[in-house]
Amino acid sequence: METTSSDEARKPRTVLEQQIRDVRKMTLQEFADYADGFARQYGEPGTLSLRHLERLVSGRGPGGQPLGKVRPATRRLLERIFELPIAELLSPPGTDRQEAESADELRDRLGGAARVDDEVIRLLHEQLWTIRRLDRQLGVVVAHQETVVKAEQIASLLRHSLMPSRREALAKLLSEVCTLAGWQSLDAGRVSEAWRYYDQAISAARESGDPGYEMHARAEQATVLVDVDRAEEAVALLGGLRTRGASAGLRAWLAATHGEALAAADDGAASRRAFDEAETALGTAELGAAPYVALDEVHLARWRGHALARLGDPDATGVLVAALGKLDPTFIRAETSLLVDLASALRRQNHLGAAHEHARRARSLAGEIGSVRQQKRLAREVSTG
């Protein structure tokens, strides 16, 4: 049973409940889903149903009886996720545990963070790049759990790092990992989870001391506003961000993101201007500039086509077809979104056969990569067709 508002105010009964509810900010159902995905990805045989999890977090078995011994596979799964022994996870949270880590554990974590050097930072960047590559081609069903684990690892290193230069480097990394996790959560249809990851990315960006990272994270969060039908607020947020100084690449990306939000708010003229400004800025952008944004001429055309399709502009079809022909075939999520846009644009022009074919292909890809977001868009197209 899901927790109620009165349950939310209740103190956690076990360290496990504290870790799920207060540290990870998850519901029991969200954590059960996460644990199942973790087990699949890392080859753990343990499973965790919602009912079983409810008993574990309560510290009691059915009818208030003692909990009894936890199955070895379940024990291993929980211990691997939380990096805590099962006895501690099922014990009542003590004041000392709530306020500070144990001295031994703190010393260990401080020591581990102190060993972070330039080579470790480079390796973490390489791992992030690998996750991005998996994400764009295989989607949330493969890459999300790995992204979450990487975010937790980097967050722990940041919490226990003392050198300002290392903290800044780790904070930049954490901001980028969390924006990726937020985008994945949004694609999976979990908008509240996406919002939390973007909020974490914003906090990390502030720690980094580089305003570009905070601008990027805030702009990413604006996409959640569009998805929950608050496009006007997204427009205002993005418009404010664009008044700040930024690199040419980030200016181009912000302008394109603003253009999409303006289209969602049905401001076609302003949307078109924003995309023209994005194109101008992109022409002077440096390759490899941080923070990372996936924007080039093809992606910009794809975004412009999305906005035009949303506005009902007949030019959308030509823009989208051209972008589809040039799109890197490894960008499967991008292709899925483009196909949904193309199906929408063709349907508006009454080219129903072609629209149906693109929608069929988009539906197949969305299922393969776990894109609930695109599946919902397709469902809306059917309902309004």
Tell me what percent of the residues of the chain surpass a pLDDT of 90. Answer: 72
pTM comes to: 0.77
* pLDDT average, residue stretch 306-312: 97
Whether 197 shows a pLDDT value over 60: the answer reads: yes
Q: How many residues can be counted in the chain?
A: 385
DSSP conformation class of 228: T
Helices (H), 189-230: 191-208, 211-227
Whether 322 shows a pLDDT value over 50: the answer reads: yes
Q: DSSP states of 255-320 as a string?
A: HHHHHHHHHHTT-HHHHHHHHHHHHHHHTTPPTTPSSP---SHHHHHHHHHHHHHHHT-TTHHHHH
Quickly state the pLDDT bin for 63 (edges 50, 70, 90): low
Q: How do residues 267-302 score in pLDDT, each as one tens digit?
A: 999 999 999 999 999 999 987 788 999 999 999 999
Selection from 22-26, 110-114, 370-374 with the highest mean pLDDT: 370-374
Check residue 72 and give its pLDDT: 86
Quickly state the pLDDT bin for 383 (edges 50, 70, 90): low
Residue 27, number of CB atoms within 10 A of its CB: 17
Q: How do residues 153-163 score in pLDDT, each as one tens digit?
A: 999 999 999 99
Check residue 98 and give its pLDDT: 45
Give dist(CA 308, CA 130) in Å, integer. 33
CATH class of segment(s) 296-385 = mainly alpha
Q: Taking the domain 210-276+285-291, which CATH number applies?
A: 1.25.40
Give dist(CA 85, CA 78) in Å, integer. 8
Average pLDDT, the chain: 91
List for the chain the helix, strand, coil content (%; round to 5): 75, 0, 25
Q: DSSP states of 354-370 as a string?
A: HHHHHHHHHHHHHHHHT
Q: How do residues 71-130 score in pLDDT, each as one tens digit?
A: 888 988 998 898 888 888 888 887 454 444 467 778 888 999 999 999 999 999 999 999
Quickly state the pLDDT bin for 224 (edges 50, 70, 90): very high
Q: Where are the domains of the chain?
A: 5-100, 102-209, 210-276+285-291, 296-385
Give dist(CA 292, CA 212) in Å, integer. 10
Check residue 384 and give its pLDDT: 61
Cis (ω within 30 of 0) for the bond into 72? no
49-56, Cβ contacts within 8 angstroms, sequence gap of 24 or more? 53/28, 54/1, 54/28, 56/14, 56/16, 56/90
Check residue 100 and give its pLDDT: 46
Check residue 8 and give its pLDDT: 46
Whether 173 shows a pLDDT value over 80: the answer reads: yes
Quickly state the pLDDT bin for 5 (edges 50, 70, 90): very low
Quickly state the pLDDT bin for 148 (edges 50, 70, 90): very high
Quickly state the pLDDT bin for 43 (edges 50, 70, 90): confident
Q: Name 240's Cβ contacts closer than 8 Å, sequence gap at least 6.
A: none
Check residue 7 and give its pLDDT: 44
Whether 179 shows a pLDDT value over 80: the answer reads: yes
* pLDDT average, residue stretch 60-76: 79
Do the domains 210-276+285-291 and 296-385 sit in the same CATH topology, yes or no? yes
From 41-45, 114-118, 175-179, the region with the lowest mean pLDDT:
41-45
